[in-house]
Structure 1
Amino acid sequence: MFPVGRDASHDCVHYFQGGDVARGRVSLARQVLILQLAVLTVVIAAGAILAVFDARRDSDDATRQEVLGIAVSLAQAKSTAEALHSPDPTAILQPQTERIRIATGMDFIVVMAPDRTRFTHTNVDQIGKPFSGNIDRALRGETFTETYTGSLGPSIRSVTPIYDNGAIIGLVSAGVTRAKISEQVKHGIPVILGITAAGLALATIGSVLLSRRLRRQTLGMAPAELRTMYEHHDAVLHSIREGLLVFPSRSPDVAEVVNDEARRLLDLPEGAVRRTDLPESMQVLTPVVVRDEMHVTPNRVLVVNRDPVEWEGRTIGTVLTIRDHTELEGVIGELDSVRGFAESLRSQAHESANRLHTVITMVELGRYDEAVQFATAELELSQHLIDRLMGSVQEPALAALLLGKVGQASERGVELTISDDTALDSPAPLTTHEAVTLIGNLADNAIDAALSSPDAWVEVTVQEVDSQLVVKVADSGPGMSADDLARARSRGYSTKDNHRGLGLALVSQLVARYRGTITAERKPAAEVVVTIPRTAS
């Protein structure tokens, strides 16, 4: 679950600090760091090796182009052909080829006769001796490059023919030994190694920083601990009988966590849940802590708690917990009705006792006619109201409710009357319980409002008009504007210890369920009118 209002890292870390789990564990961040460093080391080392081989290959390719160019240039020079026709070609060609060799960095430049006899060589002892290597392709007029082990060791060499009037009169071979090529490659290895070391250092720094960030995000927990925590978290979310929603501060319009009970209680759709999907009264997500706030939806009465989610001293989200209060609110409503009846009976018993004592005293004083007149007058008044209600309202529970409200209002100093045109055969489409809730809450609100006036009165009318159930409750209070009524209906919440404020919300819930209307008037008197079609399903 999400820690609320305290240090989350302390809770989560200590949640897994017991037994064998904490001993010898390696956090996810450390495992990722080790794996990342191993992979980076292998990749960078492989890259360095490939770079060395690539440098060797590039050097070989460059050497082939270079020896080929030098051999062809020397073979095509007119002075080379002229020297071969001289009595002593070595005397002319050896100094020239040595100058060229030194200038170009070649290891050898050999000018030879078609029979392989060398006219020039780096090692003068090899002059006059046969050339070792392949020349057959050159004798056929082809210029080629090969790797061959000669008198100076393995080398890359090119061989090309020397033409004079279309005839091959000699051959030129230029080459560089493998040892020299390797030496050149070695000079580039420090640069490659430096780049490799720098890359590895940067990768290590990046991995460490990533590991620290991951450690903060995972609270230093190992994969097994994260899996266990997720399994517990998921099991709790699906099993608790309390709705839970979590809205992150970074994206407060979309819930990050929604459990099954929250979807059921709020009739939420599958998939992502947006704040606009919640009832209007629950869409405000301020960081203020709220305890046992009552909300009324079209189908339920809910108790909502709201807490900020804190992490390292800053608020990172909001948690809403929701409990279903519908059945309990129904029981409380019935209990309030029974309590009202009991209070009414107590009041009537008290008044009856007073009247009885008065009658007895009058009889004892011999005032028999006055005693009879006093007793029958009170009885006739009460009996008249009872007979009228029982004759016009066929539902006994509603008649009893209205009689009880008359007595309850009288005890609070409010004159409550039932209009003469009140008549009702059946509360349909409402059930008896729903009708009691509707009329009782409207009457209670009217009595509360009437108390603010010096001459407090309330008038209740219940009748059927044009196939519609109409309930009118007028009072001497200030009344409500259309905006006040809309706010009272949409606000729909109260505190746990005080259920006042739910009345109009519960009435609105019933009206919406049966597709009725509720209006409020201020003139000529404060009045709330509820109309429910009889044909509503």
Structure 2
Amino acid sequence: MLAAVRVTGPWRRSTSLARELLVLQVALLVVVMLAVAVVDAVLDVRRDEQAAAQRVLGVAESLALSPTVQELAVAPGTVQSRSAVLQPFVEAVRSETRLSFITVMAPDGTRWTHPDAAQIGRTFLGSREPALSGQPFTETYAGTLGPSVRAVVPVFASAEATEANGTTGATGPTDQDDDGARRVVGLVAVGVTTAQLNQEFLRSLPLPLALLAAMLGVSLAGSALVSRRLRRQTHGMASDDIERLRSSHEAVLHSVREGLLVVDPDGRVGVANDEARRLLGLESDPVGVPVAELPIATSVRDVLVEGRAATDETHLTDDRVLVVSQSQVEWTGRRHGAVVTLRDRTELEALTGELDSTRALSEALRSQAHEAANRLHTVVVLVETGHPDRAVEYAVEQLELSQRLTDSVLESVEEPVVSALLLGKTAQAAERAVTVRIHEDSHLPADLVTAPGSSRDLVTVLGNLLDNAVDASAAPELGGGPRDVNVLLRPDGDDLLVRVDDTGPGLPPELVATAFTRGWSTKVATSVAGRGLGLSLVDQVVRRRGGTVEVLARSDVEGIEGIQDDDGGVSGTRFEVRLPLAGLR
């Protein structure tokens, strides 16, 4: 079968999907890494500022408690005299602590110390109010050295410093205000410029940048490996090529008239097209379902579960005859599952059966025509030889035999399709020296089988049972024994009873359970499809109609009229089918 798929748009070679993903991953990694670096840098700057604020606050509090600072803050003198003592002291501390400035000042903000000697004596730039109220604080402020993180701490007058400078007494300053609070006699401001913090931050960058570059290199190498594997798995195809292939796949999958199943190595359905779901009677999409759990015919499920190779095997479901083929898919020495194709042979099987029946009837008619010619020739010779009375007697005798057979069938079976089948099978069996007898209790009214498809199912059941019985009764190993087939058709309670008895060699008890299995036959196959479908088709109809079927082997058959072997014993097999009348009307 050839299938043409029309694909729109130019088929051009473009960038492979693996390369597109690699570029996307590289861009994403670079953006993410840069974002992480920026966020980390911002957080590091904030952490550095917070650490610097704690550091300058600690240094400022230490200096505010220094006896030297406390004594000079309460001692009388000028700015220059205080600066001459404090400037070397605080500069030594500033050099040791690597700070940008340390300023000791009077409560009014007049600087006593400063890294720039020209700023000594001038007013401090920045906030002082919290410190004047006795509360140390930190802030970021732009002073003479530029923006800086600074701490301002009050210097309180101590009793020792006041006594050492002779300022105690009622007329001199004391270490407390009138309300009992400690008196602020000076302020200490310690700070580090943001420029210095930025330089320290830049000096610390090489290590994290090296780590970031290493992480980026590892990520890019991983992306390259993933891209290489993806390119190998997609055979270097681009995204539009994959989409085009998918569209073609869907178009072919759902347009072919054969059922297609793909089973993965884990035994689950990977692909199932619409035709496969229809042929198997699956209402929902079976993709992902283990084949062992599919609600399908047992024989078909066994083929899927076993995973064996199958070529044009015939399997029966409840209402179809399917031709199943299965082949394993291997690539580079690995098993990738199995591909199963399903074809509907139901109509073909029905036509084949009709053709076989027509051919058999044609051969029977040809034989009858030949026999009739012989009989006519006999009558003519009797007349020519002067025996007209004997000729009339012979002709009437032959006519009565034929008419008696037709009358017995039509009287018992009023349904025209079934009666025609019986007459044809009777003539066909006669050619094989087998006599088909209609049981005297048989009765099938014309209005008993009226439902759509019921006549066809009844013909399937009766026709295949008769074929099987005639084949058994005509077996060569029977020799000169009786070759009879008895047929009984009549309503029995709520069921229609179909019973066929033969005088064949009998069915061994161990084969009774498998008699209705697909492919079971006592004959040699003469076609690709093989034999053994007849009884399987009977079983299919019985199951679909909700009936029952029973097989009695030679040892179980009792009281079958007209079936006696040469020794007076019972021989043959009985097939008894019951179909509910409710489904036939």
Matched with 1:464 is 490
User: Alpha carbon RMSD of aligned pairs, Å?
Assistant: 3.7
Between stretches 432-441 and 416-425, larger displacement belongs to 416-425
Q: Is 1:143 matched with 2:136?
A: yes
Cα displacement (A) at 1:499: 5.6
Please state if 1:301 is matched with 2:321: yes
1:145–1:159 CA contact under 8 A, matched in 2: yes
Amino acid at match of 2:105: M
Cα gap change, 1:492/1:257 in structure 2, threshold over 3 Å: closer, same or farther? farther
1:238 aligns with 2:265: no
SS at match of 1:173: strand
Partner of 1:38: 27
- Shifted more, 508-517 versus 422-431: the winner is 422-431
Contact 1:480/1:520 (<8 A) preserved: no
Q: CA deviation at 1:407?
A: 4.2
Higher RCO (Cα < 8 Å, 6 or more apart): 1
Which residue, out of 291, 297, 313, partners 1:279?
297
- Which shifted more, 463-472 or 518-527? 463-472
Match of 2:206 among 190, 193, 197: 190
Alignment partner, residue 473 of structure 1: 500
Question: Structure 1 residue 211 and structure 2 residue 258: aligned?
Answer: no
- In the alignment, which of 510, 516, 523 is matched to residue 488 of structure 1? 516
In 2 relative to 1, CA 480–203 (structure 1 residues): closer, same or farther, beyond 3 Å? farther
Equivalent residues of 1:64, 1:158 under 8 A apart: yes
Query: In the TM superposition, what is the alpha-carbon distance from 1:521 to its structure 2 partner?
Result: 1.2
Contact 2:65 2:155 in 1 (8 A): yes
Distance 1:414 1:217, change over 3 A: farther
Q: What is aligned with 1:5? A: none
**Per-residue deviation, 1:441:** 0.5
Residue 501, structure 1, aligned to residue 532, structure 2: yes
| 1:107 matched to 2:100 | yes
Partner SS, residue 460 of structure 1: strand
- Within 1, Cα distance between the matches of 2:286 and 2:298? 18
Moved more, 48-57 or 409-418: 409-418
Deviations 1:82-113 (A, max 9, x none): 24345654565445434433443223322222
**What is the CA-CA distance between 1:393 and the residue it aligns to?**
2.7
Cα distance, 1:41 vs structure 2: 1.0
The residue type paired with residue 208 of structure 1 is: A
5 Å matches for 1:9-24?
20-23=10-13
Give the superposition deviation at 1:162. Answer: 0.7
For residues 302-344 of structure 1, give each alpha carbon's deviation from its aligned partner in whole angstroms, at most 9, with x where no partner exists: 3333333444443323333333322222222211111111122
Question: Does 2:28 match 1:28?
Answer: no
Instruction: After superposing the two structures, state which structure 1 stretch, 489-498 or 524-533, moved more.
Output: 489-498
Give the counterpart of 2:183 among 167, 170, 187. 167
Measured in 2, the distance between the counterparts of 1:105 and 1:452 equals 121
Judge conservation of contact 2:469–2:501 (CA < 8 Å) in 1: yes
After superposition, what is the alpha-carbon deviation per residue over 1:430-458, rounded to whole angstroms, capped at 9, x for unaligned? 74443322211111122334427524735
Structure 2 runs not aligned, ≥5 long: 1-5, 158-174, 176-181, 558-571
Alignment of 1:310-389 (within 5 A): 310-352=330-372, 381-389=401-409
Distance 1:323 1:109 in 2: 97
Partner of residue 63 from structure 2, selected from 62, 74, 78: 74
Q: Which residue of 1 aligns with 2:37?
A: 48
Q: TM-score, normalised by structure 2?
A: 0.77
Q: Which moved more, 1:190-199 or 1:231-240?
A: 231-240
Q: Is the 8 A contact 2:156 2:183 kept in 1?
A: yes
Q: CA–CA distance in 2 between the matches of 1:487 and 1:132?
A: 114
Confirm or deny: 8 A CA contact 1:52 1:189 kept in the other structure: no
Percent pairwise identity: 42
> Does 2:73 correspond to 1:84?
yes
> Kindly tell me: are residues 287 and 532 of structure 1, through their superposed partners in 2, closer, same or farther at Cα, counting changes over 3 Å?
closer
TM-score, length-scaled by structure 1: 0.83
Q: Is the 8 A contact 1:33 1:208 kept in 2?
A: yes
Residue 222 of structure 1 corresponds to which residue in structure 2?
238
Deviation at 1:480, TM superposition (A): 6.2
Correspondence 1:158 to 2:151: yes
**Does the 8 Å contact 1:482/1:520 carry over to 2?**
no
Label 1:457 to 1:485 Cα distance change in 2 as closer, same or farther (>3 A): farther
CA 1:212–1:527 in 2, change beyond 3 Å: closer, same or farther?
farther
Aligned length: 519
Supply the distance in 2 between the matched residues of 1:157 and 1:33 (Cα, whole angstroms).
Answer: 50
What is residue 130 of structure 1 aligned with on the other side? 122
Per-residue CA deviation, residues 337-385 of structure 1 (Å, 9 max, x unaligned), is: 1111112223334445566677778899999999888877666555543
Unaligned stretches of 5+ residues in structure 1: 1-14
Query: Is the 8 Å Cα contact of residues 459 and 473 (structure 1) preserved in structure 2?
Result: yes
